[in-house]
């Protein structure tokens, strides 16, 4: 199949491109590089040993997007493109709604024009909001979101479900990611945050390499096993393989289906620090500070629907996540800035 990856130069998109190619598919990437780097495309090409058609355009720019669909016969779309910083979305909500929702609407218009009906969407566990019990399962009512970012995912899910009602041929899988971490085992692709990282894994790896002096652990008074926050971390390569499985499912089905991509297991911040230290033989100095506003104490996936419908489950361990993150960081101390 010929698969369009919007946001394919980004962290998850680049790893997913590699897995699709590995399975014999062709990919076309559209990305405006607002949060990524063209060197990521070069690295995908290095790993997969082939040239990738890449277009530096905004997905909301439908005139140029249309040209991409005219040039390539697209069979399916995986829509990663979006702004994703939760905290930033609270500060500049209009920019988040405009970017994430407009780009999806434009994409849907062009897909309809070209009669493309298979769609995989990068949703998020944040759609489960504040009030659901753990583990989160797909039958729970989503909503009560705690940031504009999460609401963009919630609204886009709704838009896609509405399209599936009227277009009987449309097939969409709403993949609700938990916490993607890690890097390609080659060390050539990985997470490349701008400035000081917000997320735990890139922060820890920058402490390990000496760019940051110590980790600040946001709270040790949560009702969890050691008081620190618990999340369901999933290796980005497992997550990428989940997209391959989701597309195989989408091809054979119609309608909209929300599916969690997580491991089903929660680890605390202290678990991560200890495992990272042990797996990589490094020291991570840390300090406990106050809770971060908006953080939930603990959540993880009920990962059974993905097993049932996609015949997919995460296989990599927390040690793999820590080792691969560190290999990427060590080999690329400045990320993709070559």
- Dist CA 43 CA 218 (whole Å): 34
Q: Kindly state the DSSP code that residue 35 receives in the 8-state scheme.
A: T
Our finding on whether 179 is near ligand UDP (CB under 6 A) is: yes
Count the helix, strand and coil residues of the chain and give each as a percent rounded to the nearest 5. 40, 15, 40
Q: Would you say 190 or 276 has its CB closer to ligand NAD?
A: 190
Among 20, 203, 249, 336, binds ligand UDP (CB under 6 A): 203
Position among 17, 18, 77, 82 found at the interface with ligand NAD (CB under 6 A) = 82
- Asked if 9 and 33 touch (Cβ cutoff 8 Å), the reply is yes
Cα–Cα distance, 80 to 25 (Å, whole number):
18
Token digits of residue 219 = 């709270």
Chosen residue from 25, 26, 33, 98 binding ligand NAD by CB under 6 A = 33
Q: Is 267 a catalytic residue?
A: no
User: Residue 79 has what DSSP assignment?
Assistant: E
Which position's Cβ is nearest ligand NAD?
Answer: 10
Q: Which region, judged by CB under 6 A, interacts with ligand NAD, from 176-184, 247-255, 274-282, 291-299?
A: 176-184
Cβ 216 to ligand UDP, closest distance in Å? Answer: 5
Residue 73: how many other CB atoms lie within 10 Å: 12
Question: Of 74, 253, 247, which Cα lies nearest the Cα of 171?
Answer: 253
Q: Quick check: 31 binds ligand NAD (CB under 6 A)?
A: yes
Query: Out of 57, 107, 108, 200, which residue is the one contacting ligand UDP (CB under 6 A)?
Result: 200
Q: Does 262 bind ligand NAD (CB under 6 A)?
A: no
What is the rounded distance in angstroms from the CA atom of residue 193 to the CA atom of residue 199?
9
Binding stretches for ligand NAD (CB under 6 A): 6-7, 9-13, 31-36, 58-60, 80-84, 99, 103, 122, 124, 177, 179-180
């Amino acid at each position: 199949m010929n698969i369009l990856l919007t946001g394919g130069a980004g962290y998850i998109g680049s790893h997913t491109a590699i897995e699709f190619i590995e399975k014999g598919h062709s990919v076309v990437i559209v990305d405006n590089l607002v949060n990524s780097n063209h060197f990521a495309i070069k690295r995908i090409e290095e790993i997969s040993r082939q040239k990738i058609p890449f277009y530096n355009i905004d997905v909301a720019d439908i005139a140029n997007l249309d040209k991409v669909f005219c040039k390539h016969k697209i069979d399916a779309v995986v829509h990663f493109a979006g702004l994703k910083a939760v905290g930033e979305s609270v500060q500049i909500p209009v920019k988040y709604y405009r970017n994430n929702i407009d780009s999806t609407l434009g994409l849907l218009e062009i897909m309809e024009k070209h009669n493309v009906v298979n769609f995989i969407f990068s949703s998020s566990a944040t759609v489960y909001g504040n009030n659901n019990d753990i583990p989160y399962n797909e039958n729970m009512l989503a909503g009560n979101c705690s940031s504009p970012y999460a609401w963009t995912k919630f609204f886009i899910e709704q838009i896609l479900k509405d399209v599936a009602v009227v277009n009987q041929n449309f097939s969409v899988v709403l993949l609700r990611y938990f916490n993607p971490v890690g890097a390609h085992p080659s060390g050539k692709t990985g997470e490349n945050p701008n400035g000081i990282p917000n997320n735990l894994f890139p922060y820890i790896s920058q402490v390990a390499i000496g760019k940051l002096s110590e980790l600040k652990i946001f709270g040790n008074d949560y009702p969890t096993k050691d008081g620190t926050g618990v999340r369901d971390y999933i290796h980005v390569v497992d997550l990428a393989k989940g997209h391959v499985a989701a597309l195989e499912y989408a091809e054979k089905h119609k309608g909209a289906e929300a599916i969690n991509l997580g491991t089903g297991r929660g680890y605390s911040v202290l678990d991560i620090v200890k495992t990272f230290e042990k797996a990589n033989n490094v020291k991570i100095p840390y300090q406990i500070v106050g809770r971060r506003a908006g953080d939930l104490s603990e959540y993880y996936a009920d990962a059974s629907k993905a097993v049932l419908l996609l015949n997919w489950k995460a296989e990599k361990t927390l040690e793999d996540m820590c080792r691969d993150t560190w290999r990427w960081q060590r080999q690329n101390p400045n990320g993709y800035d070559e």
